[in-house]
Amino acid sequence: MEGQVCNIGIERKLTEPCSIVIFGASGDLTARKLIPAFYHLCKDGLMPPAFRIIGFARREKSDETWRKELRVALDQFSRTKPVDDGLWNNFAGNLFYCVGNVTDAAAYAKLEQKLNSFQNPKLRHNLLFYLATQPSQFGQIIEQLHNARLLHKEVGEGWQRLVIEKPFGHDLASAKTLNNELTRFAHERQVCRIDHYLGKETVQNILMFRFSNSIFEELWNRESVDHVQITVSEKLGVGDRGGYYEEAGALRDMVQNHMLQVLALVSMEPPVSLEAESIRDEKVKLLKSIRPLTAADFAKQIVRGQYFAGTVDGQPRPGYRQEAKVKPDSNVETYMALKLFIDNWRWSGVPFYLRTGKYLPMSASEVRIQFRPTPNVLFAAECGKKLDPNALTLRLQPNEGISLRFNGKVPGMSLGVRPVRMHFSYDAEFGAYTPEAYERLLLEAIAGDATLFIRRDEVETAWQIVDSIRDGWHGKPLTNREFYAAGTWGPMAADELLAQSGHAWHEPLVIK
Ligand SMILES: NC(=O)c1ccc[n+]([C@@H]2O[C@H](COP(=O)([O-])OP(=O)(O)OC[C@H]3O[C@@H](n4cnc5c(N)ncnc54)[C@H](OP(=O)(O)O)[C@@H]3O)[C@@H](O)[C@H]2O)c1
C-alpha cells in the first residue's frame, strides 16, 4: 500500500457509560436502521464498554418480545450476514423496553425508574434521547423530559443530548418553533439534527478530497468550473409512503436537507479548522450566498414534475395520483430541478444544477463538476468545433468513488480524440468495509461531536430557500408540461432548463 494513513480526526474510543432512549422503538426506523447500526458499532468494538438501550413506545411488549422482534429485523437488515449469535446475545442483554405514551407524564416516571434500576450512575445520567416518532411529537417529548428532570439544560450530573430525526419542521416558521422549543430545554450543543447524508463516507469525503488535493482545489472556482450538476435520482416511487409524501414532496423530502447539504460541502470555502463550528460556519455562509429567486428568475430556474403511469425496468408502474394515500388530483411534486447561483467571489456566474425525482431510470447520487472547455484551435479540423470538456464526478452512491474524464488520442494513424475516464472505487481500494451512515452518526452523537449534525441557523437558512420556491408556486396546479412518465428522466422542461445555457444533464455514471 502506498502512502500512510493520516488520522486527522479523533479515533473514536467511547469510554463513558451511557444509556440511549429511543422514542419510537416499535417503528420502522428503529428496526431497519438504528438497532442494526448499534449492533455493528458493538461488533466493531466502538460502543462504550457499558451501555443500555431503552425503547419507548405505546405498543405493549416485554423486553424479551422486543429483543426477539429486533433480532428478526436484524437478520433482514444487517449489512453483515449472518448475524453472530454470541455477539447478538451479549448485545440484546442491553436492550430494554418501556411501554408509554409520549403525552403521558407517568410514562416518563416509569422511564426514570428503569434508568434508576441501573447500578452504574453514569448509565442513569449520561443520556442520549433519540426522537424517532412523528415530528409533531418532538416538542412535547422534550418538555416532558425536562419536567421529569431527565433532560438538564444546565450543567449537572452527566450529559444529556437529543437526536432529532428529519423532517425538521415543514417550513421556516415551524422549524423556528421547533428550534425555540428545543432551546427552551436544551443548549444548541446538546442537539443533534440528523441528515443521514452527512453520515455517508462519500459525503464526508467531499471535504477530504477538496482540501487535501491541490490539483483540484486550485481549479475549484469560476475561472475553471463551467457548471456543477448534483443528481439524486431514485428508481422507486413513493410506494406505501404516499401519506408522508403528500405532505413533503421532492422539495422538502430531498432538496431542503440532503441536496442543499451536498451543495454546501461542494462549494463552501475552506473552514479555519475541522472543528464542528468552523465547518458549520462555512456551510451557513454558503447557503446564505445562494442568490434569492425573483419572480422573473422563477420560471427560468425552477422545474417541478410528477410521474404518471409508465414502466421501470420493463415493469408497469402506476402514476403518482393512483398511489395509495395520494389525492387523485394531487399537485405534489415527485421531481425537482433547480438552477441556482452562488453570489460570492469564488462562484459568481457558475450555474449549479440540482435534480431529484422518483421513478427515474436509476437510483444514483452524484456530483459532477464540469470544467470549462479548452479553446479548441488545434483539433477543430479533425474533431469538430467542440471537444468534450473535462469532468470530475463524485459518485456518492452506488459504486462509491470518484471519476475523472479527460480527452485522449484514439490509437491509430488518424488524429482522433475522445473522452476517456479514470475511476477510483472505494470497494476496490479499501475493501468492502463501508459502515452505514447511521453508525457514524450515532457514534458522533454519543461522543458529542456536532460536525455531522445540522446547526440551527443552517436548517433555518435552508428552509428560507425552500419556502421561497414554494411561494413561487403560489399553490398553482401542475400543467401538462410538468408530468413525466415513470421510468424517464423527468419532464422536458428539466432539459430545457440546462439547454438555455448550452448545457445538458449527464446520466449518473455506472461503474461495471
Ligand atoms: N423510516 C425511515 O426510514 C425514516 C427515514 C428518515 C427519517 N425518518 C423519521 O423517523 C421518525 C420515525 O419514522 P418511522 O418510519 O420509524 O415511523 P413509524 O414506523 O410510524 O414509527 C413511529 C413510532 O412512534 C411511536 N409512537 C407514535 N405515537 C406515539 C405516542 N403517542 N407515544 C409513544 N410512541 C408513539 C410508534 O409506536 P407505537 O405505535 O407503539 O406507540 C412507533 O414506534 C419520523 O420522524 C420519520 O420522519 C424515518
Q: Does residue 372 line the site of ligand 1, with CB under 6 A?
A: no
Q: Does residue 102 line the site of ligand 1, with CB under 6 A?
A: yes
Distance from C-alpha of 453 to C-alpha of 458, rounded to nearest angstrom: 10
**Residues of the chain falling short of pLDDT 70:** 1-12, 385, 433
Ligand 1 pocket mutation, candidates 21, 22, 23, 28, criterion most atoms within 8 A of CB: 28
Q: For residue 413, is it within any domain?
A: yes
Q: For residue 174, is it within any domain?
A: no
Q: Does residue 192 line the site of ligand 1, with CB under 6 A?
A: no
Give the residue whose CA is nearest to atom 27 of ligand 1.
133
Place of cell 469510554: 15
- The pLDDT assigned to 433 comes to 64
Please check whether residues 157 and 207 belong to one and the same domain: no
Please choose, from the candidates 177, 107, 104, the residue with its C-alpha nearest in 3D space to the C-alpha of residue 135: 177
Examine the fold and report which residue of 124, 146, 165 is the final residue of a domain before the chain moves on: 165
Closest ligand 1 atom to Cα of 33: 3
- The pLDDT assigned to 351 comes to 98
- The pLDDT assigned to 420 comes to 94
Concerning whether 258 is annotated as a catalytic residue, the answer is yes
- The pLDDT assigned to 154 comes to 75
**DSSP letter assigned to residue 304:** E
Ligand 1 pocket mutation, candidates 77, 98, 99, 133, criterion most atoms within 8 A of CB: 133
The β-bridge relationship of strands 351-357 and 225-233 is parallel
Please choose, from the candidates 236, 266, 270, the residue with its C-alpha nearest in 3D space to the C-alpha of residue 253: 236
Please check whether residues 63 and 207 belong to one and the same domain: no
Give the residue whose CA is nearest to atom 34 of ligand 1.
57
Q: Does residue 448 line the site of ligand 1, with CB under 6 A?
A: no
Distance from C-alpha of 217 to C-alpha of 489, rounded to nearest angstrom: 31
Examine the fold and report which residue of 140, 165, 190 is the final residue of a domain before the chain moves on: 165
Q: For residue 173, is it within any domain?
A: no
CA of 134 to the centre of ligand 1 (A): 5
Please check whether residues 149 and 224 belong to one and the same domain: no
Q: Which domain holds residue 341?
A: 198-499
Please check whether residues 101 and 218 belong to one and the same domain: no
Q: Does residue 57 line the site of ligand 1, with CB under 6 A?
A: yes
Please check whether residues 300 and 449 belong to one and the same domain: yes
Please check whether residues 337 and 213 belong to one and the same domain: yes
Q: For residue 6, is it within any domain?
A: no
Q: For residue 186, is it within any domain?
A: no
Please check whether residues 139 and 254 belong to one and the same domain: no
Please check whether residues 355 and 420 belong to one and the same domain: yes
User: What CATH number is associated with residue 338?
Assistant: 3.30.360.10
- The pLDDT assigned to 194 comes to 95
Q: Give the pLDDT confidence of 291-311 residue by residue, as tens digits.
A: 999 888 888 999 999 999 999
Place of cell 488535493: 213
Q: Does residue 368 line the site of ligand 1, with CB under 6 A?
A: no
Examine the fold and report which residue of 165, 188, 220 is the final residue of a domain before the chain moves on: 165
168 within 8 A of 138, measured Cβ to Cβ: no
Q: For residue 67, is it within any domain?
A: yes
Q: For residue 39, is it within any domain?
A: yes
Among candidate residues 258, 423, 474, 506, the one labeled active-site is 258
Q: Is 336 left (phi over 0), alpha (psi -120 to 50) or beta?
A: beta
CA of 27 to the centre of ligand 1 (A): 5
Please choose, from the candidates 63, 65, 61, the residue with its C-alpha nearest in 3D space to the C-alpha of residue 53: 63
Give the burial string for 305-338 (b: 16+ CB within 10 Å, else e). bbbbebebeeeebbbbbebeebeeebebbbbbbb
Give the residue whose CA is nearest to atom 32 of ligand 1.
101
Q: Does residue 258 line the site of ligand 1, with CB under 6 A?
A: no
CA of 31 to the centre of ligand 1 (A): 11
- The pLDDT assigned to 5 comes to 61
Number of domains, the chain: 2
Q: Does residue 26 line the site of ligand 1, with CB under 6 A?
A: yes
Please check whether residues 338 and 228 belong to one and the same domain: yes
Q: For residue 54, is it within any domain?
A: yes
Please choose, from the candidates 388, 452, 334, the residue with its C-alpha nearest in 3D space to the C-alpha of residue 226: 388
Count of alpha carbons within 13 Å of 48, Cβ hemisphere only? 22
